[in-house]
Amino acid sequence: MYVTYIVRFKITCERCDATSICQYSQQVYYILHTTGLAESSFQFHGDFLALPLKREISFVFRFLVATPNISANTEWEQNGVTIAGDIGGGNNTNQLYYPYGICVDDDDQTVAIADYVNHRIVQWKKSDTKNGQVIAGGKGQGNQLDQLNSPTDVLIDKKMNSIIICDRWNRRVVRWSRRSGTQQGEILIDNIDCYGLAMDEQRYLYISDYERHEVRRYSPEDNNGALVAGGNDKDDGLNQLKFPTYLFVDRQQNVYVSDNKNHRVMKWNKDVKEGIVVAGGQGAGRALTQLGNPNGLFVDKLGSLYAVDSGNNRVMRWLQGAKQGTVVVGGNGQGAAANQFFYPNGLSFDQNGTLYVVDLGNNRIQRFSIE
């Protein structure tokens, strides 16, 4: 997702010319490291040099969080690398037990995981594949504010320095601060059979309701939400969903929904009454035109859809307008080998296009780098 920050400083640097036009290519995206701002210099996150100031002059920088640079021909390594958990499963800090949703934070180089059976959210550093850190829950199954009950998805809210969690069997969505020492969360929305989460650039929160077969959009001031997909009982009509799970929202606020029991992915354009099938919809099956209980979703800047085809133990890519998909990773039968999955569930990409897949039945997170 792109997030645009327009920041005005009365500064320029040695790499800007007399007209104050930044000499960096606009194809390079920067994230401002505000804590590095000082009178004599400022600093960017990432592998960028501190730029000494030259003189005072007003101009505007545009900062973007870049979507992965993926083309229609991009291919990934077929053997995944385990970065969290292990096949055995468990509740130690080096283990997961039926992980569900995942979210990658490029700034902190961390991965947040909804650890379903352990009733917790665990954060793993990309540089440390041996142990995770509990950042929410982990105090047993329960409905207190310091507990979770089978979380299915997690979203990182950078602006609020927090995580938002689908607390599935407590029927609520909760927020936990990412600040060190946080002991409990706060309820954002309750009385909802939540499953998947997404947030758009205007900070609207989208939640799939598994039992009401609908998706709603919530503003910060609204606990009721506006219906954006489904909500017409469960069936396979174009205005219906059947047990929706994970979501993706693009820059135009179009909503992509994993319509799990209809074995399809639906796209609902903003302010429409019916969706369109963009993947699957041909019944459950292994053909390239089919999906089996799809879950995690991502749509790249070209409009290509990536879907976890859970029932077929694979991740599929459907180019925009395509009648069938292609296998990205997996599809080698159910198993625990590096090129196999056991009911994969969530997925996420980092800014380099590296793919992360939740291998639910194997209690692990697999990383697939671009070839």
Rounded Cα distance between 103 and 111, Å, is 6
For the stretch 216-272, pLDDT in tens is 999 988 888 999 999 999 999 999 999 999 999 999 999 999 999 999 999 999 999
Give the pairing type, strands 255-259 and 58-64: unpaired
Domains and CATH numbers, the chain: 1-66 (no CATH), 81-368 (2.120.10.30)
Contact (Cβ atoms closer than 8 angstroms) between residue 114 and residue 102: yes
The two three-digit tokens of residue 222, written as one number: 């609204």
Could you give the percent of the chain with pLDDT greater than 70? Answer: 82
Band of residue 13 on the pLDDT scale cut at 50, 70, 90: very low
Dihedral of the alpha carbons of 215, 258, 188, 66, in degrees to the nearest 10: -110
pLDDT score at 56? 33
pLDDT > 90? residue 45: no
For the stretch 182-198, pLDDT in tens is 999 999 999 999 999 99
DSSP string, 52-100: EB----EEEEEEEPPPP---TT--B-SS-EEEEE-SS--SSTT--SSEE
Rounded Cα distance between 314 and 344, Å, is 7
Mean pLDDT, residues 271-277? 97
Q: Is the pTM of this model over 0.85?
A: no
- Find the angle CA(189)-CA(191)-CA(196) to the nearest 5 degrees: 65
Rounded Cα distance between 196 and 267, Å, is 15
Least confident stretch, 31-35, 200-204, 243-247, 279-283:
31-35
For the stretch 47-65, pLDDT in tens is 333 333 333 323 333 333 3
Residue 273 CB contacts under 8 Å (≥ 6 apart), including other chains: 239
Q: For residue 269, which of 288, 286, 281, 255 has the smallest C-alpha distance?
A: 255
Band of residue 10 on the pLDDT scale cut at 50, 70, 90: very low
pLDDT > 90? residue 170: yes
- In the block, which residue shows the tokens 């291998």? 359
pLDDT score at 50? 38
pLDDT > 90? residue 326: yes
pLDDT score at 67? 66
Rounded Cα distance between 318 and 258, Å, is 14
